[in-house]
Structure 1
Amino acid sequence: MQQLDKLIVIIGPTAVGKTALSIHLAKRFNGEIISGDSMQIYRGMDIGTAKIKQDEMEGIPHHLLDIKEPHQSFSAAEFQDIVRRKIKEITERGALPIIVGGTGLYIQSVIYDYRFSDKGGDEAFRLKLEEKAEKIGKAALYEELLKVDPEAAKKIHPNNVRRVIRALEVFQTTGRKMSEYLEKQESKQLYDVALIGLTMDRELLYSRINARVDQMMKEGLLQEVESLWQRGIREGQAVQAIGYKELFAYLAGECTLEEAVDQLKQNSRRYAKRQLTWFRNKLPVDWFDVTDEKRRTEKIKEISDFLAGKLRLK
């Protein structure tokens, strides 16, 4: 029987404390960290994506940061391909790969035998739908998806235009519904994987999220967003990220700065809630509550010891 490569995945909502845990584990188990965040891949988008700073890395190699320009697109299929190659490279160096991040579908696509459509996308069709969304609105496009694939529509937020378009594109190019396609995915794990989830009391988490947004503003988030705006990057996948779209609305004169920051906090809290729900429903996670900040060091050691046993690590 083939021995599977070992892999640690740390998931959890934004601001829960994944970075500190990942550094501790990388030090203890000779690890290298792979970002599992779909927005930290973009150069010049550091503050709003809570990208780890150089001095916080403590010498630990980090991968999949700053590999794309903000105007470029990025998909789960591309992430799957790059990360699987990184896992192989890191393992061959005798180190332990540790994925850290909160984009659920991306994580799922890596650790399971998850196959994306053999047919490529239909760029002309996609552009047509993007133009349609601009003219008739997101809601009307979502109604189209409800007609052709109600099951897929149930799992996609009406405002997530990119995923609505992708589901319609799959139907257009393959003749199959996205929901049917996903049902046939293999559930076999490709790695000897330990999925660690961090959670905490909701009120404390929301308080930490609000404080993080305030800190981001102090560190120059507005200036970071203005830089993208001045470069003419007004549309596309990257600037739909939380932290950017709200401040773009301010720069476009659609709201005050105070309103934009309040919206940013609210959207971040809602995203954290959706992340937790998704992870609990979709992945076999070992959850650890990190609410008690006074016991944080103790909790990190508990998780570390748990992993040593689970993955038979030295």
Structure 2
Amino acid sequence: MNHFFNGNLHKNKVIFILGATGTGKSRLSIDIATRIPSEIINSDKIQIHKGLDIVANKILESEKQGVRHHLLGTIEPDSDFTASDFCNQAVAAVEEILKLGKVPIIVGGSNSYIESLVEEHFVKFKSIYECCFIWLDVALPVLYSFTSKRVDQMVDAGLVDEVRGMFVHNADYSRGIRRAIGAQELDEYFRDEKEMDETTKKHVLESSIQEIKDNTGKLASRQLEKIKQLRDKLKWKIHHIDATSVFQIRLKEEADDDGCGKEVNDAWMKLVMHPCMDILTDFLKENRKIDESLEALLLLKT
């Protein structure tokens, strides 16, 4: 095992990015990974599966900026992938990344996977690795507005036809990729669409899309509560980054049909990236393999 120097502990360092759905975790992970030598490990239990790229909101190839991703779209759609499976494959990916002299960044909204990885005794993760937890947070009312608009964008991008492509009667929505929000909500529409007139079809589809929005909001609430439990009950030292203002600016720009995004990007750098730089500079400062990257990271703030 290739241990980095870390004072008296000699532990490898691993970064975790936590947050509810839609809070910008993927963007943050790419922003970090393009500034320090890193690779990303996906911990979203839906995105782990092949297929439903729109529904699962998987990062586009063009958005990866050349950063290698692990456990993203690698598991067959109908396969059960347990928390234990995740732990085993995530640890293997962590070790592979460390052997390259890079820092693993574990990113995703499935906090039960992350809890199992860090806390399960058979993994002994906390004994081997030093963890930095960054919680990217957006106030729920603002996040609800954003995720609602995002569902509309996903529908425009082909969400309905994507789900139709995997629809089967009497499907089991408790396993595999069919657990994704967007699959079960459209089941009634696909079962009955051939028998419905156009008015009914439109009404049922609109109701299904609204249900997707509602269930996305409920998921965000559950994810938020889980992160608070990790912080308050398990006493994880979690660094809180509030991106609410960034999303408020983004929603306003979209409402005003202003597509330039400069104000959003400036706010992102000031309120998200710069605080993360401070956290990671302190966390990684004794990692001699990335000293030069940290110096470059600090220069970005000047």
Where on the TM-score scale, by shorter chain, does this alignment land: which range? 0.7 to 0.9
Cα RMSD, aligned residues only: 2.1
- Percent of aligned pairs sharing the same letter: 34
Is 1:234–2:155 an aligned residue pair? no
Equivalent residue runs for 1:3-152 within 5 Å: 3-115=10-122
Please state how far the C-alpha of 1:252 moved relative to its aligned partner.
2.3
Is 1:287–2:240 an aligned residue pair? yes
Relative distance call for 1:62 and 1:233 in structure 2 (3 A) is farther
* Helix, strand or coil at the partner of 1:8: strand
Matched residues in 1 for 2:159 and 2:22: separation? 16
1:234 corresponds to which letter in structure 2? A
1:289 corresponds to which letter in structure 2? D
Please state how far the C-alpha of 1:195 moved relative to its aligned partner.
0.4
Is 1:223–2:161 an aligned residue pair? yes
Relative distance call for 1:189 and 1:245 in structure 2 (3 A) is farther
Is 1:278–2:226 an aligned residue pair? yes
1:273 corresponds to which letter in structure 2? S
Map of 1:164 onto structure 2: none
Please state how far the C-alpha of 1:115 moved relative to its aligned partner.
3.8
Alignment partner of 2:189 out of 242, 245, 250: 250
Is 1:301–2:274 an aligned residue pair? yes
Relative distance call for 1:104 and 1:190 in structure 2 (3 A) is farther
Please state how far the C-alpha of 1:187 moved relative to its aligned partner.
9.3
Relative distance call for 1:189 and 1:251 in structure 2 (3 A) is farther
Relative distance call for 1:187 and 1:58 in structure 2 (3 A) is closer
Preserved CA contact (<8 Å) 1:40 1:49: yes
Alignment partner of 1:213 out of 151, 168, 177: 151
Q: Which runs of 5+ in 1 are unaligned?
A: 117-185
Is 1:194–2:132 an aligned residue pair? yes
Preserved CA contact (<8 Å) 2:241 2:275: no
Q: Which moved more, 1:61-70 or 1:73-82?
A: 61-70
Please state how far the C-alpha of 1:65 moved relative to its aligned partner.
1.1
Preserved CA contact (<8 Å) 1:112 1:189: no
Matched residues in 2 for 1:36 and 1:274: separation? 16
Preserved CA contact (<8 Å) 1:35 1:100: yes
Please state how far the C-alpha of 1:101 moved relative to its aligned partner.
0.3
Alignment partner of 1:311 out of 265, 269, 284: 284
Preserved CA contact (<8 Å) 1:71 1:233: no
2:282 corresponds to which letter in structure 1? G
Q: Which runs of 5+ in 2 are unaligned?
A: 1-7, 194-202, 247-263, 288-293, 295-302
Relative distance call for 1:242 and 1:270 in structure 2 (3 A) is same
* Helix, strand or coil at the partner of 2:50: coil
Preserved CA contact (<8 Å) 1:250 1:257: yes
Preserved CA contact (<8 Å) 2:117 2:125: no
Summarize deviations over 1:106-136 as a string: whole Å, max 9, x none: 01122234449xxxxxxxxxxxxxxxxxxxx
Matched residues in 2 for 1:114 and 1:248: separation? 40
Map of 2:211 onto structure 1: 263
* Helix, strand or coil at the partner of 2:135: strand
Matched residues in 2 for 1:26 and 1:64: separation? 16
Preserved CA contact (<8 Å) 1:192 1:311: no
Relative distance call for 1:253 and 1:210 in structure 2 (3 A) is same
Matched residues in 1 for 2:53 and 2:85: separation? 21
Preserved CA contact (<8 Å) 2:14 2:131: yes
Relative distance call for 1:38 and 1:281 in structure 2 (3 A) is same
Please state how far the C-alpha of 1:2 moved relative to its aligned partner.
5.3
Equivalent residue runs for 1:172-191 within 5 Å: 188=126, 190-191=128-129
1:307 corresponds to which letter in structure 2? L
